[in-house]
Structure 1
Amino acid sequence: MTRIAIVGVAGRMGRTLVNAVQQDDNATLAGGIVEPGSSLVGADIGELAGVGKLDVAAMDSLEDLAADVEVLIDFTTPQVTLANLAFCAEHGKRIVIGTTGLNDEELGALDGYRDRVPMVFAPNMSVGVNLTLKLLETAAKALGDEGYDIEVIEAHHRHKVDAPSGTALKMGEVVAESLDRSLKEHGVFAREGQCGPRDPKEIGFATVRAGDIVGEHTVMFATEGERIEITHKASSRMTFAKGAVRAARWVAGQANGRYSMQDVLGL
């Protein structure tokens, strides 16, 4: 049984992760972390998640869990994630990171732990999304240099704070790498006014933020006479949570290193 602690256990994703761990026969919930000083410190995390009393109290310090936990699952903020990586390095723990919105400096800091911490870092833990990434790699190699324009369209709920989504950026990176292009050079993230005709090598992005959309991503390959669209739609956060728990069970048996969901799934 992999002993898992969830950071940000009182949030929307945190509560879903509690449910996912409870549904997994090979994992057990060893703890949950809330913000320091939160009024929820001491609350039963099962009751917070709506799954009933689990006799596991919410805490505001990882130090209190150091002896009981094998793997942290972290869907928080870049600053919190980096602090949790430092904790894992100090205490010999593993971590699954679903945090998005890291800038280049923060990504560099995260990568600096690859020789000290076994970690799975992925912008999307969904099995379906990671299969979609493989499909995009194949499609890009077959179509991208044959006159097909490439656009990435994503939609999420009104509360999401970063744009484009980490998943959309990962999709763009997979396409760009398959075509020997640089997303930094060829990614176009805004169009307004007289922006001129489209550069054939552009990889365009469009972002929607509305309502309670869990997550929708489409990559379009369009040319004169036809359009191919590869789409993934998530209707529940549970798909991300189950993937994260699967990653936690997998990384519990790995050596130090930075891994992706492609590694977890053997893709």
Structure 2
Amino acid sequence: MGRAVRAEAVLAGDFEVAACYDVEGPCLRPGDRLPEGVDVVVDFSTPSALDFLGGMLSGTEAALVSGTTGLSAREKAMLESWSAERAVFYSPNMSRGIYVLARLVSEAGRLLGPGFDLEVVEIHHRQKRDSPSGTALRLVESWSASRSVQPEPVYGREGAMGPRRTQEVGIHSVRGGDVAGDHEVHLLGDGERLLLAHRASGRRTFALGALAAARFVSGRGPGLYGMDDLPGWSGDQR
């Protein structure tokens, strides 16, 4: 993702790439300081890199855009603590289409009522490290927000599990090839079913979303921001 963001930033014309950060290669390394005058850091790495990232941000006023997935509760709390002194934008998926899909899932849950079951299938390339995807979990959260009974995630199924429980939500992860990201939301009722899907043809869409987030947080005050805050994305033309 870092290469995709850098390529789109160069093409955009309103960004200057000051440095890159990686554990290997001709980039900033763990423990290195940010160059002077950096406005925004865009991070698509791994949860284990957050401690290094925190050290890099320390003593600077740089805003942060993070699309890293697989964060634990502790790691999400780290982002929230950083937002007390800088603008922090976090989303496990920077796609406008996924943002709309999450809102559709929430609205579907409200309109369909308790008689429908939710199953989520996500497909990613063979190199993806975390399962299920952060986006799949986000879609379940959207469904949960519209339900009176808190769903209980089930990660795949095997053996004699018995009938499906009312509050059960199935999440299924498929890995292989070079798939940038496919997500299917199956809404299953008696006598009918709905399928909502999003397929990313490449990483460019995520890079463009990250740059939109970078423009948003540049020069903005401290706070924790997300996709709902991007002008025009929620229907609010701020």
Give the counterpart of 2:224 among 245, 253, 258: 258
Structure 2 unaligned spans of 5+: none
Aligned to 1:138: 107
Give 1:236's aligned residue. 202
Decide which moves more: 136-145 or 167-176.
136-145
The alignment partner of 2:82 has SS state of: coil
Matched residue type, 1:20: E
**Cα offset, 1:26, TM superposition:** 2.3
Corresponding residue for 1:124? Answer: 93
Following TM superposition, where does structure 1 have runs of at least 4 consecutive aligned residues deviating by more than 6 angstroms? Answer: none
Counterparts of 2:31 and 2:92 in 1: how far apart (Å)? 23
Higher relative contact order by CA 8 Å / sep ≥ 6: 1 or 2?
2
User: Could you tell me how far 1:149 is from its partner in structure 2?
Assistant: 1.0
Q: Aligned-pair distance for 1:63?
A: 4.6
1:2-17 matches, cutoff 5 A? 13-17=1-5
Q: How many residues align?
A: 233
8 Å CA contact retained: 1:155, 1:207: yes
- Rounded to whole Å, the distance in 2 between the matches of 1:16 and 1:249 is 17
Residue of structure 2 equivalent to 1:49: none
- Partner of 2:38 in structure 1? 69
Secondary structure of residue in 2 paired with 1:174: helix
Which of 49, 54, 61 is the aligned partner of 1:80?
Answer: 49
TM superposition shift of 1:223: 1.1
- The residue number in structure 2 matching 1:110 is 79
Over 3 Å counting, the alpha-carbon distance change for 1:255 and 1:86 in structure 2 is: farther
- 1:122-164 deviation line (CA, Å, top 9, x unaligned): 000011111111111111111142x111111100011101000
Q: 1:24 aligns with which of 12, 15, 20?
A: 12
How much does 1:209 deviate? 0.5
Q: Check 1:60–1:83 CA distance in 2 against 1; reply closer, same or farther (3 A cut).
A: closer
8 Å Cα contact 1:85/1:95 also seen in 2: no
TM-score (norm 2): 0.91
Identity %: 36
- How far did 1:17 drift? 1.0
1:200 aligns with 2:188: no
Corresponding residue for 1:156? 124
Match of 2:61 in 1: 92
Q: CA deviation at 1:109?
A: 2.4
**Structure 1: segments with no counterpart, 5+ residues:** 1-12, 42-57
Deviation at 1:88, TM superposition (A): 2.4
1:176 correspondence with 2:137: no
TM superposition score normalised by structure 1: 0.82
Report whether the alignment pairs 1:188 with 2:176.
Answer: no
Q: CA deviation at 1:204?
A: 1.1
